[in-house]
Structure 1
Amino acid sequence: MGQLVAGTTYVKVDGAQFTVTGGAEAPLMTVKRETVAPGFYKEEDLPAYLKMTAILAPDLDFKKIVNGRDMTVTCEFKNGKVYVLAGAYLVGEPSYKGDDGTAEFEFNGIKGTWQ
């Protein structure tokens, strides 16, 4: 029996629905581990994030998103997993692509949790 593992992704930023193309990306771990000797490792905290390519629809208030400093970003993956990013803010240099109407968004936040 086949199992659904990928497909349409739904993202909301402070309640505003994004139309996502190409999916979304979220970290599975909150730390990066590195072995320093067999059986010994160190950990480094990783930022919580969510990356996506989204259509910049005419009704999407991108100014609110660009200026947001404490947003909640929720991503529902087709496999039933949900990632919630709290205290989110936009990072990088997002820009609009007029040829296909999309923008690349990367949000970092205070805490990301899988539900």
Structure 2
Amino acid sequence: MGQKVAGTCFFKVDGDQLVITGGVECPLSDTKRETITRGYFKEEDLIPYVVVDAVKTPNFPRAKLANGISMTITAELADGSVYVLSGAYLVDETKVTGDDAKVSLKFEGIQGDWQ
């Protein structure tokens, strides 16, 4: 029996659903490990984040995204899992492409939780 693991995703910013192209990236862990020498490693905290490719529709919440400093981001993946990023804000340069209206968004925040 087959099981759905990828496909249509849903993405919300403070409850407002954005139209996305399907590319959603969320971290699976809140730590990063690096081997120092065989059998010994260090561990660092990762900044919680979400990356998504959205479409600039006529009602795209540009001002909300640009000015938001404590947003709640909800990414529902096709397999039914949900990642919630709280205390979120946009990072990096945000721009729209004129030929396909794609907006690449990267959010970082205070807390990221899988539900």
- 1:73-112 aligned at under 5 Å gives the runs 73-112=73-112
Report the Cα distance in structure 2 between the residues aligned to 1:23 and 1:104, rounded to whole angstroms. 9
Tell me if structure 1 keeps the 8 A contact 2:7–2:22: no
Q: CA deviation at 1:23?
A: 2.0
Gaps of 5+ in 2: none
Matched residue, 1:7: 7
2 CA distance for matches of 1:13 and 1:21?
A: 16
Following the alignment from structure 1 to structure 2, what is the Cα–Cα distance between the partners of residues 34 and 77? Answer: 28
Q: How many residues align?
A: 115
* Counterpart residue type for residue 112 of structure 1: G
Paired residue for 1:41? 41
- The normalised TM-score by structure 2 is 0.96
How far 1:35 sits from its partner (Å)? 1.6
Using structure 1 for the length normalisation, give the TM-score: 0.96
Contact 2:49-2:107 within 8 A present in 1 as well: yes
Residues 36-59 of structure 1: CA distance to partner in whole angstroms, max 9, x if unpaired? 233221101111000010001111
SS at match of 2:100: coil
- Cα root mean square deviation, aligned: 0.9
3-state SS of the aligned residue for 2:99? coil
Where does the alignment leave 5 or more consecutive residues of structure 1 unmatched? none
Structure 2 residue aligned with 1:19? 19
CA distance in 2 between counterparts of 1:22 and 1:98 reads 19
- Tell me by how many angstroms 1:111 deviates: 0.8
Is contact 1:16–1:60 with CA below 8 Å preserved after alignment? no
Output one character per residue of 1:46-97: Cα deviation in whole Å (capped at 9) or x when no partner: 1100001000111122111111000000000010110000000000001011
